[in-house]
Amino acid sequence: MSNNIIISASNLTLSYGNTEIIKDANFSIKKGEFIFITGPSGSGKSTLLKSMYGQIQPTSGSLIVGGVELENINNRKLRELRTHLGIIFQDYKLINEWSVKKNVILPLMIAGYSIDVQDTQAERLLKHVKLTELKDRFPLQLSGGEQQRVGVARALAKNPFLILADEPTGNLDEYSSNVIWDLMENACEQLHTTVLVVTHKIPTIFSRPYRHFIIESKGVYEVH
Amino acid sequence: MKFIKNHLTFIFPMVAILLGVEFFLVFDRTTDSYESGLKEGYSMFVVANKALELQDFQGLNKHISHAEEIHKESLARQIAHGVSQTSPEEILKALPFFYNLKLDGYLDSSELENIKEDLVKSESIKKVETFGNAYSSSYRLFSFIKFILKAFFIFMGLVSFFLIVKQMEIWKYKHKERMQIMKIFGAPLMLRSGVLFRVAIVDAMIATLLTSMVFLALKYKWAQESHVDILMQKQNLLFETTDFLILLGSSLLIVIVSVSLVVFSASEKE
């Protein structure tokens, strides 16, 4: 496998119990690519994404993310892999008892960075997502768009090699959605972070030359 | 307000459990002291044909811990005083040997009967008086009070245990989402559960302090001012330094077990 390949799936099958969701998927994604995965509701988009951060183990076949094989991966290796990923969720998954700033530094806390580094990085990221003024507020005091910007800042906190976004604009209006797309595009273009977005919306940036996979009838197909 | 309520929902059942533990410790000490008083105050009366030593009695029954011969001289003098023709020495020779026997514990009446049977088997022993009726009624009352109080502590412990289980459900609901989010970002178990452990350990310490303060107040204020003889005499039994360590140890053990159960069940359900 080339060093440039960040995600590689080979005959990948994913199931919930006895129900196959994805069957014999084959694809690979290179470093710095921006990828869309679309498909109808219930087609398995989120399942595929979850398998990439080890929330679901492959039933058969192989899935390699950042050089780590995810079949039968042990907890320690999985934790290690997750600290190098940025994950964005449709429902934001922020910790409501924590301030915006503390939510943003979560990946840095987990990685054991010093308080000074956490503070500096948090200030930089909050400025980047234009939330400096709101850093001491709690997630439930923010709008949906603002919460998702916190989610993006958290995903970028540790300069991940891969950002996995599950319907990141699913709950947002057009303006907020565009802000989120811009933030993810910037990460891809400026930091060469690979960004993989699962969505059922056809976003405006679709006009750009990003690779696009569609999930249909359990298969994962690239759209040319 | 919500913060205080969240803590009190754990502190209250924990205090209830610790009060039960401390009451049990105090009760155990008090009954031990009362039991040793009863044991000291009780003795069997034995009439023997010849002089016997403690080893002779212990050879007949192992529960006999002390044998004291009753001096017959004054008895002989009193008898001689009524019977003018007989000298006290002659009466003394004619009298059998009398003993008070003490036992190694506070035994029930059937065990007293067994001791009596063992003693009368010996040809040297003519008569044994156990004073069984008086002994048996004190023993029954003592055992009944002991049983009722123990049953009450167990009941109190059970109710408090269910309150703790309820609190564990609340913790699970409250912390599950945070722990799941942290897990997704690669946090190890100790980091995910650290907050919960810290909160619960602080609550356990507060509960230990509250319980200790209640008993210290009982010991140094209430017992002194109560003018109840038994409380004033046994005041030192109400709270001892080691009790604080036992309470702290119990509360930390309960916390560690409860939080671990919550953490592992939250991890399994992800």
Q: Would you say residue B140 lies in a domain?
A: no
Kindly state whether residue B191 falls inside one of the protein's structural domains. yes
Tally of domains within chain B: 2
Mean per-residue pLDDT for B79-86?
68
Q: Is residue B138 part of a domain?
A: no
Which of A65-69, A105-109, B5-9, B209-213 has the least mean pLDDT? B5-9
C-alpha B161/C-alpha B168 separation (Å) is 10
Query: What integer pLDDT is reported at residue A37 of this predicted model?
Result: 92
Do B178 and A94 count as a contact with CB atoms less than 8 A apart?
Answer: no
**What would the pLDDT profile of A193-202 be if each residue is shown by its tens digit?**
999 999 877 6
Residues B75 and B55 in one domain: yes
Tell me the residue type at A160.
P
Whole-number pLDDT of residue B86: 66
For residues B20 and B65, state if they share a domain.
Answer: no
Do B76 and B100 lie in one domain? The reply is yes
Which of B98, B130, B162 terminates a domain? The answer is B130
Task: Evaluate if residue B117 carries a pLDDT over 70.
Answer: yes
Contact check, Cβ <8 Å, B178/A95? yes
A201 touches chain B (CB under 8 A): no
Per-residue pLDDT at B172: 79
B97 and B83 in a single domain? The answer is: yes
Q: Does a structural domain hold residue B84?
A: yes
B185 touches chain A (CB under 8 A): yes
Residues A3-16: what's their mean pLDDT?
93
Residue A99: what pLDDT? Answer: 96
Q: What is the pTM of this model?
A: 0.69
CATH code of the domain covering residue B81: 3.30.70
* Chain A, nearest residue to B182 by Cα: A106
Which of A158-172, B36-50, B114-128 has the weakest average pLDDT? B36-50
Give A206 to chain B, closest Cα distance, Å: 29
Residue B88 lies in a domain: yes
Contact B184 A93 (CB under 8 A): yes
Of the partner residues A53, A97, A109, the one whose CB lies closest to the CB of residue B184: A53
| pLDDT: which is higher, A47 or B28 | A47
Domain final residue pick, B100, B130, B160:
B130
Residue B22 and residue B98 in one domain: no
pLDDT number for residue A3: 66
Residue B199 clears pLDDT 90, i.e. is over it: no
- Does A186 score more than 70 pLDDT? yes
Note whether residue B136 is domain-resident.
no
The answer on B117 and B69 residing in a single domain is: yes
B144, part of any domain:
no
CB-based contact (8 Å) between B209 and chain A? no
A94: chain B residues, CB-CB within 8 Å: 181
**Contacts with A78 from chain B: Cβ below 8 Å:** 186
Asked if ipTM goes beyond 0.95, one says: no
Please tell me whether residues B260 and B160 are part of one structural domain: yes
pLDDT of amino acid A203: 61
pLDDT reading at B219 higher than 90: no
Q: Do B258 and B172 belong to one domain?
A: yes
Contacts of B191 in chain A (CB under 8 A): 109-110
- Minimal Cα distance from A95: which residue of B? B178
In contact, A185 and A9? CB cutoff 8 Å: no
Tell me the pLDDT band of A126, cut-offs 50, 70 and 90.
Answer: very high
Same domain? For B111 and B165 the reply is no
Q: Are residues B184 and B123 in the same domain?
A: no
Does residue B141 lie in a domain region?
A: no
Contact A107 B181 (CB under 8 A): no
- What's the pLDDT score for residue A142? 95
Whether residue B33 is found in the same domain as residue B155:
yes
Q: In three state form, how does the secondary structure of chain B look? A: CHHHHHHHHHHHHHHHHHHHHHHHHHHHHHHHHHHHHHHHHCCEEEEECCCCCHHHHHHHCCCEEEEEEECCHHHHHHHHHHCCCCCHHHHHHHCCEEEEEEECCCCCHHHHHHHHHHHHCCCCEEEEECCHHHHHHHHHHHHHHHHHHHHHHHHHHHHHHHHHHHHHHHHHHHHHHHHHHHHHCCCCHHHHHHHHHHHHHHHHHHHHHHHHHHHHHHHHHHHHHCCCHHHHHCHHHCCCHHHHHHHHHHHHHHHHHHHHHHHHHHHHCC
From the CA of A95, how many Å to the nearest CA of chain B? 6
Q: What percent of chain A has pLDDT over 70?
A: 96
Chain A CA closest to residue B178: A95
**Contact check, Cβ <8 Å, A82/B185:** yes
Among residues B67, B99, B130, which one ends one of the domains?
B130
Is residue B99 domain-shared with residue B184, that is, in the same domain? no
Residue-wise pLDDT for A100-122, tens only, equals 999 999 999 999 999 999 999 99
The domain of B194 spans: 2-37+151-268
Confidence class for position A31, pLDDT limits 50, 70, 90: very high
Which residue in the set A80, A94, A95 is minimally distant from B186, CB to CB? A80
